[in-house]
């Protein structure tokens, strides 16, 4: 096993997913590819009262912040002494993940699961479950658990 794709959403759980992937890459002498997919912003910018330039500026600032967080996570993982590549794309997350997996000829996908109920997943779904249903690659799901109150 050589290439491990790690799609992350930059939530607090992403660090745990990356740590598991880094440990696996180290033991298998593999390399990591961190992938963050920014969903396209579909805001109705022509609505009355919308300050189009301000909204575009805010969206650009959010994307820049995502890039900075992703690069920082990549730098932290490089300390595991395994090769790490960092990629950020804009698009629909699941098709983007699967396209990148094919393009990179990956061997494994490592993703987190927030541990929602089956009813939640049925109604809302999750990117991890959507990838599991559509992928041809093995997927290691890192349980994150539910956020704790307080």
Contact 116, 143 (CB under 8 A): no
Tens of pLDDT, residues 41-75: 765 555 566 666 777 777 788 888 888 999 999 98
How long a stretch of residues is the chain? 150
Superfamily (CATH H level) for 3-143? HUPs (3.40.50.620)
Contact 51, 103 (CB under 8 A): no
- Asked whether the whole model's pTM tops 0.85, one would answer no
Contact 44, 15 (CB under 8 A): no
Q: Which of 22-36, 70-84, 106-120, 134-148 has the highest mean pLDDT?
A: 22-36
The set of residues, in sequence order, having a beta carbon less than 8 Å from that of 143 and lying 6+ positions away, is 112, 113, 115
Q: Which residue has the tokens 């992703």?
A: 70
Tens of pLDDT, residues 125-139: 588 889 999 999 999
Is 88 exposed, middle or buried, given 0-12, 13-18 or 19+ CB atoms closer than 10 A? Answer: middle
Q: Where are the domains of the chain?
A: 3-143
- Between CA 116 and CA 85 the distance in angstroms is 30
């Amino acid at each position: 096993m050589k290439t491990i794709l790690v799609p992350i959403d930059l939530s607090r759980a992403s660090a745990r997913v990356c740590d598991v992937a880094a440990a696996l890459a180290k033991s298998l002498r593999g390399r990591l590819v961190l992938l963050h997919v920014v969903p396209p912003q579909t805001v109705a910018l022509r609505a009355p009262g919308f300050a189009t330039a301000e909204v575009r500026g805010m969206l650009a600032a959010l994307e820049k912040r995502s890039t900075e967080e992703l690069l920082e996570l990549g730098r932290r993982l490089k300390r595991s002494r395994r090769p790490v590549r960092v990629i950020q794309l804009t698009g629909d997350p699941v098709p983007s993940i699967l396209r990148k997996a094919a393009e990179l000829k990956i061997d494994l996908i490592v993703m987190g699961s927030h541990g929602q109920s089956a009813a939640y997943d049925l109604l809302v779904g999750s990117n991890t479950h959507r990838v599991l249903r559509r992928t041809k690659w093995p997927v290691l799901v890192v349980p994150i658990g539910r956020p704790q109150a307080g």
